[in-house]
Structure 1
Amino acid sequence: MLAVLLLPGALRAFLPALIARSALAMGGLALLLTVQDSTGSYTQAGFATATFGIANVIAAPWRARAVDRLGQRIALTAMASGQASGFIALALIAEAEGVADIWFLVLSAVVGLTAPPLGAAMRMIWASLTTAGDQRTKAFSIDAVCEELLFVGGPVIITAVIVATSPGTGLWVTAAAVSLGTAAMTSSAPSGALRGTGEKAARGDRPLRQPGFARVLIVLLGVGGVLGVAEIAAPAVAEQRDAVAASGWLLAAFAGGSALGGFLYGQLNLKAGIAKRLFALCIGMGLAAVLVSQLDTLGLFAAGLALVGLFLAPSLITGYLIADTIVPESSRTEASTWINTSVNFGASLASAAAGIVIDNSDAWFTLLLIGAITLALATVVPFARLRKRSDRRAMVKSCG
């Protein structure tokens, strides 16, 4: 799988892309701690973080369309500059006296609205460097594994920076990561070659207009739901077992399982079509969540979360492969972004619902419930008509 890193130009684009993408792994926590430190209110900090997340999700398709139309160098550079400026402005007002709380929300919205779709952009680069099939699957797999590791290490690194310095410094570090990483990525030859279409994609080329794509997004809501519930259930279970310090280890087990799943997925030479793969993965994830809901001891619960995580990265990778296969090239950055948006939206809804369920029942019931929902949503996949517009017969064979 690592052989794809030796493709001409791959590392030159991929390494700085990882630096830039680490901003997303660090930025939310840095924002939360900075606003809380400045205002003395976790409520205000929570509002700021929620504003950041909602703005990011809402604007995601339009940012991706801008990349498809204008090319990576122009669009990503402008977005990264806007987001870095937002982070820096937040750091500055956090140090100022008498700043109205509304400004934290305004700038949090700016940071979310301007977040560059770096993951989707990097997958476009991988698609340009690899051939369709096993080679592209390996590339997407290593990309997903590294992204999972970023979200394991990013919060740890930014926490260490903040503890050693100040919350505002964490925002400066995040701004540097997104601006410098994006600049280095877009200055690479593979990124520069993706100049964009120069015009709006035809309405018929939009991802949501492709047969079966919307159904795939519905299925991935369940995957995101399991992710959102796991992130809430793990700390809740640790607290119920009087082992709050174990929360981080439980979440690390989940993320580690996802990274391992992504690595193994890239090693396999799978013959089944992508629709069947997504169906099997979502069924596996739903069943694993139901299983974990029956595990009472902390050790078994950690192992169960790792098992659930094992299906996360492969499900995302398969979603990206579907986007790459059935959506016209002029809209593929947008399509890849829709995959992320669906998962993130499912995670957000599930996180909110999980808190309510846990308060009225327990953390284990939330996993049982989301497992059942994921199994139900997975049944949508076999009926999705996934066709590549340019070669319908090849697509039927590939999805069969």
Structure 2
Amino acid sequence: MQNERVSDAVRLSDYRTALATPGAAGPVIAAIFGRLPIAMVGISLLLYTQRQTGSFASAGLVSGAELIGVALGSVAQGRIVDRFGPTRPLLIISTLFGLLAGLIVVAIENRLPVPVLVGIALAVGLTQPQVGSASRALWQRLLPRGPARTAAYSYEAISMEVFFILGPGLAGLFVTAPWGGTGLAIGVASLVIGSVAFALTRTVRQWGSREVPLAKSGLLGAFRMPAMRTVTLAAFGFGLVIGFIEVAVPGAASQAGHPAVGGLLLSLWSISSVLFGVLYGMRPWPRPLYLRLPVLLGGFALLGALLAIPTTLVGLGVVMVVVGTLITPQSTAHSLAIEAVAPPGAAAEAFGWIITSVTLGLAIGQSISGTVVEEAGPSTAFLVASVAGLAVAFLVWLLRHSVRTAAEASQAQAPATAATETA
């Protein structure tokens, strides 16, 4: 494990090295447009549906179905990309996504029954192009293991945070346009353009079909591995805590009589996440990756409990900045862990499992938090989020040695893998 201990600390120059790698510029620029709507499509769909139907309950069912579709589709898309390369799958999926997005606009405009809207929304989520999984997997082909690749994964996590800041704000801005579907249309267009551009870059087109045979693994694929299940459990806990807080913070703002401040408060932790994520990458702790997963999740859950203390929105904002410091470090740790434990030739699928786990955690956390906020108040929801996160962190701690064993096996096979990649 010595290589792991010294190779995952990065300097600012490592970010420059990663982004300046030959062949990286095109996919990186295209992925920006493909990622921008990541937190925009679902929220725009929610606001658009509510505006047309006048029902938050119906809008919640529709947006929830889209979220479930994303969770299910990310793994399937990742497996297809691993098998055939990204270009053809992304082009086909982007076309289907655009057509289905147009279909749901027609359905909403014509006020079709909610079950019909839910079914179409599920299909929209299933076909939402997963540029993020393909982009993260691409770095394994562009960079050798070491600080530059770690910096690339950190960049991926940071860029996601930036778009999580921009997405909800843009959705809220466009919902005020004369046509309620403006935000959804712009988000879909950006995602399709980014996905197609990413798929057609020379670097991505050179990523052919699977070069490393993958043993038959049935429906679970990479998830059959104990270490993969441990990493996805950590990602689930991460999403669970965020889901609780994303509902409880706006609830606290509404309770204080300033509902419009809720979105601003949520943006504060994303800002601190980006800033601290860069600093944390220079000297990550704990050093062993298999310990980093439960410790970071547990620390995040404990910080979440601090949100129950403030009695003013200003105080809540200050604590949100503190809590946000452990968001990007966790996202980066998940990427590093996936690299260490994923089966050869299954990188995109493995990253898809992370997206699925975080998305399911978000959905469950948001649904439970809404009930807790209504019945017991935001402070209780923050405490429940902390307890839930600590419980999952404890389970990850109990399973930590599965990650250590898989990482050691991966390091032992690294020379052979490097030779295959070079050939």
TM-score by length of 2: 0.86
Q: Match for residue 261 of structure 1?
A: 276
Q: 1:37 to 1:299 in 2, by over 3 A?
A: closer
User: Post-superposition shift, 1:322?
Assistant: 0.8
Say which SS state the counterpart of residue 384 (structure 1) adopts: helix
How far apart, CA to CA, are the structure 2 residues paired with 1:211 and 1:291? 33
Counterpart of 2:46 (choices 27, 32, 41) is 32
Q: Greater CA deviation, 148-157 or 30-39?
A: 30-39
Q: Match for residue 398 of structure 1?
A: none
Say which SS state the counterpart of residue 309 (structure 2) adopts: coil
Instruction: Identify unmatched segments of 5+ residues in structure 1.
Output: 396-400
Counterpart of 1:130 (choices 140, 143, 153) is 143
Give yes or no for contact 1:26–1:154 (8 Å, CA) kept in 2: yes
Whichever residue aligns with residue 265 of structure 2, its letter is L
Counterpart of 2:132 (choices 86, 94, 119) is 119
How far apart, CA to CA, are the structure 2 residues paired with 1:169 and 1:357? 33
Aligned residues: 394
Q: Match for residue 305 of structure 1?
A: 320
Q: Match for residue 6 of structure 2?
A: none
User: Post-superposition shift, 1:390?
Assistant: 5.6
Counterpart of 2:100 (choices 65, 79, 86) is 86
User: Post-superposition shift, 1:42?
Assistant: 2.5
Give yes or no for contact 2:79–2:349 (8 Å, CA) kept in 1: yes
Give yes or no for contact 1:230–1:305 (8 Å, CA) kept in 2: no
Q: Match for residue 199 of structure 2?
A: 186
Q: 1:169 to 1:236 in 2, by over 3 A?
A: closer
Q: Greater CA deviation, 235-244 or 35-44?
A: 35-44
Q: Greater CA deviation, 200-209 or 296-305?
A: 200-209
Asked if residue 146 in structure 1 is aligned to residue 159 in structure 2, the reply is: yes
Whichever residue aligns with residue 232 of structure 2, its letter is L
Identity, in percent, stands at 27
> Where in structure 2 are the equivalents of 1:153-192 lying within 5 Å?
153-192=166-205
Counterpart of 1:45 (choices 59, 65, 69) is 59
Q: Match for residue 369 of structure 1?
A: 384
Q: 1:216 to 1:199 in 2, by over 3 A?
A: closer
RMSD: 2.4
Give yes or no for contact 2:64–2:363 (8 Å, CA) kept in 1: no
Counterpart of 1:345 (choices 360, 384, 388) is 360
Whichever residue aligns with residue 114 of structure 1, its letter is T
Give yes or no for contact 1:56–1:112 (8 Å, CA) kept in 2: yes
Give yes or no for contact 1:215–1:384 (8 Å, CA) kept in 2: no
Whichever residue aligns with residue 17 of structure 1, its letter is A
Q: Match for residue 77 of structure 1?
A: 91
Asked if residue 220 in structure 1 is aligned to residue 235 in structure 2, the reply is: yes
User: Post-superposition shift, 1:288?
Assistant: 0.6
Give yes or no for contact 2:71–2:357 (8 Å, CA) kept in 1: no
User: Post-superposition shift, 1:74?
Assistant: 0.8
Counterpart of 1:385 (choices 384, 388, 402) is 402
Say which SS state the counterpart of residue 226 (structure 2) adopts: coil
Give yes or no for contact 2:238–2:389 (8 Å, CA) kept in 1: yes
Q: Match for residue 106 of structure 1?
A: 119
Whichever residue aligns with residue 137 of structure 1, its letter is T
Whichever residue aligns with residue 228 of structure 1, its letter is G
Q: Match for residue 209 of structure 1?
A: 224
Q: 1:134 to 1:200 in 2, by over 3 A?
A: closer
Q: Greater CA deviation, 14-23 or 191-200?
A: 191-200
* 1:275-307 per-position Cα deviation (integer Å, ceiling 9, x unaligned): 122232112112211222223332221121222
How far apart, CA to CA, are the structure 1 residues paired with 2:303 and 2:84? 42
Instruction: Identify unmatched segments of 5+ residues in structure 2.
Output: 1-11, 415-423
User: Post-superposition shift, 1:227?
Assistant: 0.2
* 1:64-116 per-position Cα deviation (integer Å, ceiling 9, x unaligned): 111111210011111111111111222234444x6444442232122111112
How far apart, CA to CA, are the structure 2 residues paired with 1:45 and 1:362? 23
TM-score by length of 1: 0.91
Whichever residue aligns with residue 79 of structure 2, its letter is R
Asked if residue 277 in structure 1 is aligned to residue 297 in structure 2, the reply is: no
* 1:107-158 per-position Cα deviation (integer Å, ceiling 9, x unaligned): 2122111112211111011222222132122111111111111111123224
Q: 1:270 to 1:10 in 2, by over 3 A?
A: farther
User: Post-superposition shift, 1:199?
Assistant: 9.9
How far apart, CA to CA, are the structure 1 residues paired with 2:248 and 2:172? 22
Whichever residue aligns with residue 71 of structure 1, its letter is G
User: Post-superposition shift, 1:54?
Assistant: 1.4
